Amino acid sequence: MAVVPLQKSVVITPERSPAPAIVFYGGLYGLEGAWLVHKIPQYMQQSVAFVLPRHFTNDCTACLNELHSQFAAEKISSYSLCGFSRGAIEVYRYRDLKSWKILGLVDPSAPTLGGFDDAVLDSQSSKIRCVYWVPNWGKDGYGGRVPRFAQHLRDLKVNMKEQATEHASMPVLFFDVFHKELMT
First to last CA, the chain: 18
* pTM of structure: 0.97
pLDDT in tens for each of the 184 residues of the chain? 999 999 999 999 999 899 999 999 999 999 999 999 999 999 999 999 999 999 999 999 999 999 999 999 999 999 999 999 999 999 999 999 999 999 999 999 999 999 999 999 999 999 999 999 999 999 999 999 999 999 999 999 999 999 999 999 999 999 999 999 999 9
Side chain identity at residue 96, one-letter code = D
Q: What are the residue boundaries of the structural domains of the chain, listed by start?
A: 2-183
Question: Which CATH code of 3.40.920.10, 3.60.15.10, 3.40.1080.10, 3.40.50.1820 fits the domain covering 2-183?
Answer: 3.40.50.1820
Q: Are 87 and 25 in contact (CB under 8 A)?
A: yes
